[in-house]
Chains A and B, each alone.
Chain A
Amino acid sequence: MPQSRELHCVIVTPEKALFDEAADFVAVPMFDGELGVLPGRMPVIGRLGCGELRLRRGMEVRRFFVDSGFVQIRGNTVTILTARAQLAEDIDAETVSQTLQAALTPATTPQANDEKFKLQERARAQMRVARHREESAPRG
């Protein structure tokens, strides 16, 4: 395998191939926390959680919101398979906080409760990504 000093990151959703570019460093939101990936990493297949996907290339950092799925790392190619992915810039904090508020009201059935819990988790993760975006904005 050629020892390239660069990672190649691909984000695929069922509707389209969202992103396909090179990066120096990728932080992947796993089901149990963040996984940092540098070039030359060992092959991995893993499960994703909701959270922030961070790509660094030179000085530029790009953030995505990823809503669970799978990751495959193989020979400097990071493939993210997810049902929903969103550029951090596209997150609308207003709507997200509204969804969170709606999800916080208790549900009547256990099933609806699970559903709401998932929504809460997703909304919180989205808020986090939005906050990071704002924090990093003045510096970048």
Chain B
Amino acid sequence: MANTRALVKRRKAVRNIKKITRTMELIATARFKKAFDRATEAAAYTRKITELAADLSASATNLSHPLLQKRAEVKKTLFLVIGSNRGLCGGYNASILREANQRLRLIQAENAALHLELSGKRPINFFRYQGVKAERTYTQFEDKPRFDEVEVIANHYLEAFIGEKVDRVEVAYMKFLNAARQIPVVETLLPLSPSATAETRPEQKPRVEYEFLPSAGDILQELLPVSFKVRLFQCFLDAAVSEQIARRVTMKQATENADDMIKSLSREYNRARQAQITKEIAEVIGGAAALE
């Protein structure tokens, strides 16, 4: 039978780890709530911007903007992968990286040049190991991405796109559908798809005749970059929320596993102790019998 001391030690170790995973679960739950609230507040802005864009494009027909134009030939693709800085969040990074890697292969198969940007230490390490060079990396995004920080990146992308240095901007991230479902996706942010800016919802509500200051076209010119920024920001927020959910689920699982382990270790320990007692009694009886 196994050594009882070793069993006690192991059980203690598992208990300590359980305490840690339990705490991490609680922290992730709290962070998830905060991140989720932020995402919902941001959604109000996105919804309004979309509504404005729809109203405007109803009035400003046949508008052309560089951000809406699809390039005939995609020579260079800017690809941003949003992952997490820290691990211990289950399959979160793995599933994003799998999706991103697939997309990467496709881009390489098209013979298009690639401009890879990464957010989070996990994706950085992964692509370094894969031998794919990243042009830019970000590690400042944790569970509360700030709009100012994202705006800097967004401006940089807009400039590159308008300057025709890149012909397409794609983002791989974990899309947050609801608390129980998040899926890794690759989305094309630039050129802006008309559906994202002008969702034509016919006859849902009575059309309002707006007065435009200065004019519908001019406002739309300003609005399109903003709607791109907001979409990028939304990606970062979704990623943050999904990361916290993934971490919470994983840590919950880990705590439950630790519980099971403690149970089985306790059983083993009790059995070993009982065996030792039985052995000792047998020895005493054996000794007494030998004396008679």
**Chain A residues within CB distance 8 Å of chain B:** 12-17, 30-32, 35, 42-47, 69-70, 72, 74-75, 79, 81, 83
Is B73's CB within 8 Å of the partner chain A? no
11 contacting pairs across A/B (C-beta < 8 A): A14-B229, A15-B38, A31-B213, A45-B210, A47-B213, A69-B226, A70-B222, A72-B51, A74-B210, A75-B208, A81-B48
Interface of B is mostly: helix
A81 / chain B contacts, CB cutoff of 8 Å: 45, 48-49, 52
In the assembled complex, B291 has its CB within 8 A of some CB on chain A: no
B51 smallest CB distance to A (angstroms): 8
Contact: B213 with A35, CB < 8 Å?
yes
Q: Which of B's residues lie within 8 Å of A, judged by CB?
A: 38, 41-42, 44-46, 48-49, 51-52, 55-56, 146-147, 151, 208-214, 216, 218-219, 222-223, 226, 229-230, 233
Which residue, A17, A45, A46, A47, has most C-beta atoms of chain B within 10 A?
A: A45
How distant is the Cα of A79 from the Cα of B38 in the complex, in angstroms? 19
In the assembled complex, which residues on chain A have CB atoms less than 8 Å from the CB atom of B46? Answer: 14
* A48 vs chain B, min Cβ distance (A): 10
Q: How far is the CA of A23 from the CA of B42 in the complex (A)?
A: 24
What CA separation (Å) do A45 and B230 show in the bound complex?
A: 19
Seed contacts A15-B42, A44-B213; 19 additional CB < 8 Å A-B pairs: A12-B45, A13-B45, A14-B45, A14-B229, A16-B42, A17-B45, A31-B213, A42-B211, A43-B209, A44-B210, A44-B212, A45-B219, A46-B219, A69-B226, A70-B222, A72-B48, A74-B210, A75-B208, A83-B229
Of all chain B residues, which has the CB nearest A111? B159
Q: Closest approach, in angstroms, between the C-beta of A70 and any C-beta of chain B?
A: 6
User: With a CB–CB cut-off of 8 A, which chain B residues contact A70?
Assistant: 49, 52, 219, 222-223, 226
Q: Is the CB of A17 within 8 A of B41?
A: yes
How far is A79 from B45 in the complex, measured between Cα atoms in Å?
10
Task: Give min CB distance, B154 to chain A, whole Å.
Answer: 11
| A16 to B223 alpha-carbon distance, docked (Å) | 19
Contacts of A79 in B (CB 8 A): 48
> Are B42 and A72 neighbours in the complex by a CB distance under 8 Å?
no
List the A residue with the shortest CB-CB distance to B46.
A14
- The answer for the CA separation of A46 and B216 in the assembled complex, in Å, is 9
Given A12-B45, A83-B151: A46 and B223 interface contact (C-beta under 8 Å): no
User: Which residues from chain A contact B211 at a C-beta distance below 8 Å?
Assistant: 42-45
